Amino acid sequence: MKLVLFGPTGMIGSRILNEALSRGHMVTAITRDPSRFSVSHENLTVVAGNALAPASVAEVAKNHDAVLSAIGTSGSSLEVIVEAARSLIKGLSLVRIRRLVVVGGAGVLEVEPGCQFVDSPNFFEPYRSLALVHREAYNLYKTSDLDWTFVCPAAEIAPGERTGKFHVGADHLLTNEKGESQISAEDYAIAFVDEVETSQYIRHRLTVAY
């Protein structure tokens, strides 16, 4: 597949990039400064672009099969996640590309019917503001006409091992027998690229955890 990836240098985005390349996909990585991009691969093209500008999104996305977004908040305000959602929706409509797979947040997952994780008393307070902007972005995707998938990690995600052994779910936060909800960024990337390839969760949430 020919894929566009926004946010290819972050903790999650860099692992999605490596996973996609390892499977033979052609990836166009979008960054504001290609000269600072250190990854090199025969199937990788690095292009200057801006996820917050619809015209830029349209320009870099044309002639690709799908767009992947791993836009995060490193060095930016939390609102960049919502701004990117608006820009991606508008930009992709300009070139009639419908498939969009997005790195989401665990806060939008349900812990009981009608109660999202971010609204539960067990949610980790320092991350509540981040979770709320992810929810706002999620709601924007829900009202778009794109074939989106919002890929939520477990409650805890961090660099770790690529094991290939995890559980996949849809609407509900996944936990193990100890009540823990964890995933490595490497295994999250496997589930993310699996969804890019199979399109099993069109216009839906998807989550992955051990």
How sure is the predictor about 77, in pLDDT bands with cuts at 50, 70 and 90?
Answer: confident
Q: What structural domains and CATH numbers belong to the chain? A: 2-209 (3.40.50.720)
Per residue in 106-126, pLDDT (tens digit) is: 999 999 999 999 999 989 999
Average pLDDT of the residues of the chain: 95
- Cα dist from 79 to 53, 109, 129, 137, whole Å: 14, 20, 10, 9
The pTM assigned to this predicted structure is 0.96
Per residue in 19-64, pLDDT (tens digit) is: 999 999 999 999 989 988 989 999 999 999 999 999 999 999 999 9
